[in-house]
Amino acid sequence: MEVIDQPNLEKLNALNNKYVLKIVKEFVNLCKPSKVTVITDTKEDIDYVRIRAIEVKEEENLTLEGHTIHYDGFLTMSNHDQARDKANTQILVSKKEKGSYPWINTMEREKGLNEILEIMDGCMEGHECVIRFFCLGPKNSKFSILALQLTDSFYVAHSEDLLYRAGYKEFKRLNGSNDFFYFIHSSGELIGDPPVTKNLEKRRIYVDLQEDRVLSVNNQYAGNSLGLKKLALRLAIYKANNEDWLAEHYFIMGVDPKGKDRVSYFCGAFPSACGKTSTAMLPGQTIAGDDIAYLRVWEDGYAHAANIERGIFGIIKDVNAEDDPVIFDALTTPRETIFSNVLISNGTPYWIGDGRDIHDGGLNYSGKWNIGKKDEDGKEIPHSHPNARYTIRIEELNNIDPNLHNPDGVQVHGIFYGGRDSDTMPPVLESLNWEHGVFLGASIESETTSATLGAEGVRSQQPMANLDFLVVPLGKYLKNHQKFGSRLKYPPRIFSTNYFLKNKDGKYLNGILDKLCWVIWAEGRTNGDYDAINTPIGFIPQYKDLKEIFKIYLNKEYSENDYIEQFSIRIQYLLEKLDRIEAMYKKEKNIPDFFWRVLKKQRSELLTLSIKYNKEVISPFEL
């Protein structure tokens, strides 16, 4: 490792960890960088990363202090490096495991390693490699998993400083253990100004469960290159489901009801475009995490949750002053922020749906841009990519929860599972018990919209909004949830939400901010404030409680007609949903018995209800 000078070598040796040295030696020799720099937790080292990102032109300063722009590779609107590459993200498994995960891409481990290690041979030639140390979760916490990162991208390294807690000192506390994840990333050969990955056809992101590592090459987009995010989630799911905890695609929010001296914490999982961010950022509430959470059984009998991140890598499309005032303010005032793949005009970033006039001219991910510019396939290039992003520390938001860095996490009172459903599920309901709640999470469906190619209204199943990241069989995953709740004296209450219910004319029955009322009702249920109506699908709110909540929180009259439209039990649609869920899960092996018990009981009770009332839609006032 001649490319590591003595001061940097001393930083590595100070960890007293032979496993770190072995990994560094193996991949420095393989990737062949021209220089290696070890980054510790010091301000000087962290500033070096930010400064070098500008010097090597992976980022460029913008007008507002702390703001920078980064661009990922772009050839056409259908061939670029500006989104997760699902096709080339492979989970490496043994021969006997091949085919056990029909919903994700798997590759036989030996074959995959041979391929990617050949591609990575010399991939850092002419580049500087930085060695990073991070802590996934609060420092000095039972939740946390340490992470070692080698990358030749200063944009990646800078992003990680915004998104994760520094972990060099935490590695010293390992006392030589190999209990950490590690991530090797290279942007590969670069081209252009700004420099972007050249060989996109050789882009590979391989998750090696056996070694707790991710190998990623020929990409810069953070979803492919930042191993600590969704790639690390896969490693954590595998670890959690072979131990006794949960790694989930959850936000964490604090709900602070008016006139009550308390804050109740909720987690929530929603598929894309189903209201996850807008729920986590509701006005008057606090946010402790927007994307990934670890949950553990705690000594007080509750589940506790911690955000493994300290920042947000968020989709910037449609963030505007009216709908997302907290985030919009943070993005339009001076602070350390990385924008990616948006239009820059006169040093100011512009993006789709920001509420401002589109400037005709400037620079974006395609180079010089003007309205009407098309790619080589004749497709129009928007001024900002639909998947353009911002990266910012959560502490920069004025609604940050004070327990973000609490090593004990937060006590979880409830969990929301939300989908996109135009005709079946009510806006909010509470599960009958923990097992029924797991069933609710496993039954999430998301409808396609006009923004998706193909037919509208097609429902896809999205168990716990986590299907894309599961690396264990679904049966094992559900069984682990069941066992987790059974070990708790006070398991979280589980709620289903649906903000997309429509009437026969296709008009939404929910207002944009109505979700605040559903959340407040759920918080009240966890604290015994409200009674509820027992139905075959769960507990639904009483009208009098919702009427009061709408008046207090939105100063809005909530009519009996609204209530009937939203909370009637639509028996035929519910039975059809059960049929779809049953068909999906019958394709899987070893689905636990409790799942089928819940499904069978719910179907039987819905049929009994239909016979009793002799109709398919039953008003909540009749129940």
Query: What is the CATH number for 188?
Result: 3.40.449.10
Q: Is the pLDDT of residue 456 over 60?
A: no
Strand, helix or coil at 75?
strand
Residues 417 and 564 in one domain: yes
Residues 382 and 346 in one domain: yes
Residues 31, 135, 274, 517: which is the catalytic one? 274
Q: In angstroms, how far apart are the furthest CA atoms of the chain?
A: 82
pLDDT score, position 101: 74
Confidence band (pLDDT; 50, 70, 90) for 322? confident
Domain that holds residue 551: 248-310+404-622
Radius of gyration, alpha carbons of the chain: 25
Residues 458 and 472 in one domain: yes
Residue that wins the pLDDT comparison between 453 and 125? 125
Cα within 13 Å of Cα(438), Cβ side:
25
pLDDT score, position 522: 98
Confidence band (pLDDT; 50, 70, 90) for 444? very high
For 191-202, what is each residue's pLDDT tens digit? 999 999 999 999
Q: Is the pLDDT of residue 26 over 80?
A: yes
Residues 376 and 300 in one domain: no
Q: Is the pLDDT of residue 36 over 60?
A: yes
Amino acid at 246: L
Distance, CA of 396 to CA of 337 (rounded, Å): 10
Pick from 230, 245, 260: which residue ends a domain? 245
Residues 389 and 531 in one domain: no
Q: Is residue 64 part of a domain?
A: no
Average pLDDT, the chain: 95
pLDDT score, position 359: 81
Closest of 111, 133, 126 to residue 188, by C-alpha: 126
Pick from 245, 261, 289: which residue ends a domain? 245
For 541-568, what is each residue's pLDDT tens digit? 999 999 999 999 999 999 999 999 999 9
Q: Is the pLDDT of residue 457 over 70?
A: no
Count of domains for the chain: 3
Confidence band (pLDDT; 50, 70, 90) for 500? very high
Q: Is residue 74 part of a domain?
A: no
42: left (phi over 0), alpha (psi -120 to 50) or beta: beta
Q: Is residue 79 part of a domain?
A: no
Q: Is the pLDDT of residue 455 over 70?
A: no
Q: Is the pLDDT of residue 452 over 50?
A: no
Q: Is the pLDDT of residue 450 over 50?
A: no
Q: Is the pLDDT of residue 453 over 50?
A: no
Q: Is residue 100 part of a domain?
A: yes
Distance, CA of 182 to CA of 245 (rounded, Å): 21
Confidence band (pLDDT; 50, 70, 90) for 576? very high
Domain containing residue 256: CATH number: 3.90.228.20
Residue listed under structure tokens 């937790």: 41
Q: Is the pLDDT of residue 451 over 80?
A: no
Q: Is residue 1 part of a domain?
A: no
Pick from 342, 377, 396: which residue ends a domain? 396
| Contact between 337 and 331 (Cβ < 8 Å) | yes
Q: Is residue 69 part of a domain?
A: no
Query: Has 135 been annotated as catalytic?
Result: no
Residues 436 and 322 in one domain: no
Residues 263 and 210 in one domain: no
Q: At 407, phi and psi to the nearest 5?
A: -65, -20
Confidence band (pLDDT; 50, 70, 90) for 131? very high
Under 8 Å CB-to-CB from 157, ≥6 apart: which residues? Answer: 39, 49, 53, 130, 132, 149, 151
Residues 347 and 260 in one domain: no
Under 8 Å CB-to-CB from 58, ≥6 apart: which residues? Answer: 70, 153, 154, 155, 194, 195, 220
* Percent over 70 (pLDDT), the chain: 98
